[in-house]
Amino acid sequence: MRTLKYHQAISEGTVQAMERDPNVFCAGIAVDYPSGIFGTTTEALKRFGPARVFDTPAMENAFTGICIGAAAMGKRPIMVHPRNDFMLLAFDQLINLAAKWRYMYGGNAGSVPIVVRAVIGKGWGQGATHSQSLQAPLAHFPGLTVLMPATPRDAKGLLLSACRHDHPTIILEHRALYNVEGEVPEEPEETPIGKAAILRPGRDLTIVATSLMVQEALDAAEELARHDVDAEVVDLRSIRPLDEETVLASVKKTGRVIVADTSWERCGVTSEIAALCAEKAFHDLKAPVRRLALADCPAPVSQTLEQAFYPKASTIARLALHVIGIDPELVGDIDREDTFKGPY
Amino acid sequence: MSNRLEQKTEMPESWGTRDLRERRVTVHGQALAASVLLDLHRSMQRIRHTEETIARLYPQQEMRTPTHLGTGQEAVAAGVAAAVRRDDALYSHHRCHNHYLACGGSVYRLAAELYGRVDGAARGRGGSVHLTDRDNGFIVSSAILGQTVAVATGSALAFRMDGVDRVAVTFFGEATCEEGVIYESMNFAAINRLPVIYVCENNLYSTESPLSVRQPPGTELCARAESFSVPAEKVDGNDVAAVYLAARRAVDRARSGAGPSFIECMTYRWREHVGPQFDHDAGRTYRTKEEFDLWVERCPLKQSAARLISLGLADEREISAWAAEIEKEVVADFERARRAPWPEAGDLFDYL
Ligand SMILES: Cc1ncc(C[n+]2csc(CCOP(=O)(O)OP(=O)(O)O)c2C)c(N)n1
Ligand SMILES: [Mg+2]
């Protein structure tokens, strides 16, 4: 199969979604710039023109409401936030309305199938307001679908699914994944919503991961293999709905779990998975569930502080060895060089 | 297609004879079919009797949903709803019964929603503030200030993209002019000349806070709209014909591609902010009894009835007969709704 970068896969998914459904449009700050949200909207603009790919003023909350009102009339908007932090301004429309719409009107007002793409930033001094990761607060609310593609194939496949999904859907893309390359089918293949993927099978330990942490987990698993530890990597892909079945089956097989997420631990995705294991796989656990997440402070800017803030492949590998009972200090220098040159 | 009132072909005898209905009358310098004034009055009567029936039954503790009654503000809903078509999209806020009813919403389904019954407009999932009746163009109401202002703007965007001549309308209280979302929305509507009409019901209060503590002295909400190049008009919101005419101008503008409009309707809520009581009966003093009496004197139904009588379109006896007939229907709907089945607990997750 041919390979694409994550951002190319999003671009292709957007074009195919717009091709097959004339009601799909794509809007948000900077979507029609030559830079096209890191190359994800440029092709769609070329193909479908400014009537269907257009810039908006900085108006995150109202534009989310505008997408809802357009969706109520049959449109399929894709709203894009260059950073997911900006979406906090839109929580009223997203949470107080979009998430409730179908239920609160007893099904009589239809549904509002908006798609919101939002990018998680990381590193190069993005800082406290441009590198948060909002999956946990979003997935808290019944009625929202929250997706986190970790591979180019799913970046395209989940976007295509979202554009046909009947619920408001948020796709959190990770800036640090945009240049990751992987196999992507040319046809508009949809990734099922609510299904986790086992990206690497293993017997000794399960690493449940989201987004960028999936790639870090895959690197960690390579290293673990060198120490004869056979790690299974589960890519959650969908935070809500959550694929409990796949996670539990893996945990029951390996008996050991590490959960790695791109956000904080408190009330987060790692807590949710830990609770799931405790409630439904307690007797299969051979070791306590361990969580790996951001340091419990806002994102700093200075390089040394950033280094300390983010967990990475080596952090996962060390914790895994510790869980297995092997000296964590045996982990080699496995972390990828950060090639990001900024600014965003 | 013509608007709601002009669409009507058959009418019950009690709405005036055909000859009478076709008569042309002049109101505010505009020629109107008499039927328009007669139907506007009936629409307001239907709202008034529904709201007052709720006020009467609410203390029984069987309608367990915070309810913001629209008594006193009927002319805004009736006048605007009459100026649009059934395929247009109307949105409303927490004080939404008037708009739902003016669009033609069923009293029975409203009552069933208030009683929490499965036949409710939102099947007992929404309550008083979350109504919908898409068949009549009433898309939704929502209880978060300003929310549907953006949503209506989005429906207008969809109409614009589809190249159809439908329009979107949103009703909101003047306190929404203190929220940010309305300015984001008007700005966007103005840039894109969207067919949306912003209808502000200025009843002078946000819960118990008067305008003086919320808006700087001399504030003109119309001037704020105009600062976004949105044409704005301030009307007597208790004069149903004035509201209707202003709405028609705005609708014509929107349909012809000339973009959004803002209409400020000056009016007054009679009952407490939420609930069935009168403020002075509840011992509240944030509004004076004199102010209240003045606005009751300006009752929209009373003004409309006086106009019908002075134009020779109806007499007092007829108008009372319509009221009695409507009231009977409304009461029957509430009785039926009270006996309607509850939603099943096992259906808790339906429509998720
Ligand atoms: C965002 C938000 N803030 C506060 C409230 C609480 N609240 C409900 S109604 C209301 C007053 C609104 O006044 P206005 O918009 O003038 O409408 P009115 O009640 O006078 O019809 C307030 C503050 C709310 N529902 N939503
Ligand atoms: Mg008010």
**Measured between CA atoms, how close is A54 to chain B, in angstroms?**
11
- Rounded to the nearest angstrom, the distance between the alpha carbon of A55 and the centre of ligand 2 is 34
The pairing of strands A169-174 and A115-120 is parallel
Residues of A in contact with B130 (CB under 8 A): 104-105
- Residue B4 falls inside a structural domain: no
- Residue A191 falls inside a structural domain: no
Residues of A in contact with B195 (CB under 8 A): none
pLDDT at A230: 98
- Rounded to the nearest angstrom, the distance between the alpha carbon of A96 and the centre of ligand 1 is 15
Positive/negative CA dihedral, B253, B259, B265, B270:
positive
Same domain, A158 and A212: no
**Rounded mean pLDDT of B57-80?**
98
Same domain, A267 and A224: yes
Check whether B1 has a pLDDT greater than 70.
no
Question: Mutate which of A64, A92, A105 to disrupt the B interface (most B C-beta within 10 Å)?
Answer: A105
- Residue A90 falls inside a structural domain: yes
Q: Which of ligand 1's atoms lies nearest the C-alpha of B147? A: 1
B309-328 pLDDT tens trace:
999 999 999 999 999 999 99
Token pair 């046909």 is at which residue?
Answer: A164
pLDDT band, residue B7 (cuts 50/70/90): low
**Rounded mean pLDDT of A299-311?**
97
Same domain, A127 and A33: yes
Cross-chain Cβ contact A69/B157 below 8 Å: yes
**Rounded mean pLDDT of A151-164?**
98
d(CA B201, CA B45): 19
Residues of A in contact with B106 (CB under 8 A): none
Same domain, A164 and A214: no
Q: Which of ligand 1's atoms lies nearest the C-alpha of B203? A: 20
Domain boundary among A133, A150, A183: A183
Helices B74-82 and B240-255, interaxial angle, to 10°?
40
- Residue A339 falls inside a structural domain: no
Q: What angle do CA B323, B324, B325 make, to 5 degrees?
A: 90
pLDDT at B9: 43
- Residue B3 falls inside a structural domain: no
Same domain, A14 and A128: yes
pLDDT at B18: 72
Count up the domains in chain A and report the number.
Answer: 2
pLDDT at B2: 66
**Measured between CA atoms, how close is B12 to chain A, in angstroms?**
30
C-alpha dihedral (B273, B276, B279, B282), degrees to nearest 10: -120
Choose one of B206, B211, B264, B287 to mutate for the ligand 1 pocket test, by most ligand atoms within 8 angstroms of C-beta. B206
Count up the domains in chain B and report the number.
Answer: 1
pLDDT at B229: 98
d(CA B173, CA B330): 26
Tokens of A39: 């190359």
- Does residue B140 belong to the interface with chain A, where contact is any CB pair within 8 Å? yes
CATH code (residue A280): 3.40.50.920
Cross-chain Cβ contact A69/B134 below 8 Å: no
- Residue B180 falls inside a structural domain: yes
Question: Mutate which of B110, B135, B155 to disrupt the A interface (most A C-beta within 10 Å)?
Answer: B155
Same domain, A162 and A269: no
**Measured between CA atoms, how close is B179 to chain A, in angstroms?**
11
- Residue B325 falls inside a structural domain: yes
- B contact residues 88-117, partner A, Cβ 8 Å cutoff: 89, 91
Same domain, A206 and A144: no
What's the mean pLDDT when you consider all of chain A? Answer: 98
User: Residue B126 is nearest to which of A65, A74, A104, comparing CB atoms?
Assistant: A104
B236-248 pLDDT tens trace:
999 999 999 999 9
d(CA B175, CA B210): 10
- Residue A178 falls inside a structural domain: yes
User: Residue A59 is nearest to which of B89, B159, B188, comparing CB atoms?
Assistant: B188
| Among A7, A81, A130, A167, the one annotated catalytic | A130
Same domain, A139 and A229: no
pLDDT at B3: 73
Q: How far is CA A274 from CA A82, A208, A270, in A?
A: 31, 10, 6
**Measured between CA atoms, how close is A51 to chain B, in angstroms?**
8
Q: Is B43 strand, coil or helix?
A: helix
pLDDT band, residue B17 (cuts 50/70/90): confident
- Residue B7 falls inside a structural domain: no
pLDDT band, residue B12 (cuts 50/70/90): low
- For chain A, what percent of residues have pLDDT higher than 70? 100
User: Residue B188 is nearest to which of A62, A102, A142, comparing CB atoms?
Assistant: A62
CATH code (residue B319): 3.40.50.970
B196-238 pLDDT tens trace:
999 999 999 999 999 999 999 999 999 999 999 999 999 999 9
Check whether B283 has a pLDDT greater than 50.
yes
Residue A309 region by backbone torsions, left for phi larger than 0, else alpha for psi between -120 and 50, else beta: alpha
Domain boundary among A149, A183, A217: A183
ipTM over 0.85? The verdict is: yes
pLDDT at B10: 46
- Residue A340 falls inside a structural domain: no
- Residue B8 falls inside a structural domain: no
Cross-chain Cβ contact A62/B185 below 8 Å: yes
Cross-chain Cβ contact A108/B89 below 8 Å: no
- Rounded to the nearest angstrom, the distance between the alpha carbon of B144 and the centre of ligand 2 is 14
Query: Which of the two residues, A32 and B20, has the higher pLDDT score?
Result: A32
- Residue B51 falls inside a structural domain: yes
pLDDT at B11: 47
- DSSP structural state of residue A208: E
Same domain, A214 and A255: yes
Range of the domain at A96: 3-183
Q: Distance from CA of residue B230 to its chain's centroid?
A: 22
A174 is catalytic: no
Range of the domain at B82: 13-271+278-342
Domain boundary among A155, A183, A211: A183
- Residue B306 falls inside a structural domain: yes
Q: Check if the beta carbon of residue B24 is closer than 8 Å to that of residue B32.
A: yes
- Residue A11 falls inside a structural domain: yes
- Residue A237 falls inside a structural domain: yes
Cross-chain Cβ contact B154/A66 below 8 Å: yes
C-alpha dihedral (B177, B183, B185, B191), degrees to nearest 10: 140
Same domain, A26 and A87: yes
CATH code (residue A95): 3.40.50.970
**Rounded mean pLDDT of B271-282?**
98
- Residue A35 falls inside a structural domain: yes
Same domain, A34 and A136: yes
Same domain, A151 and A291: no
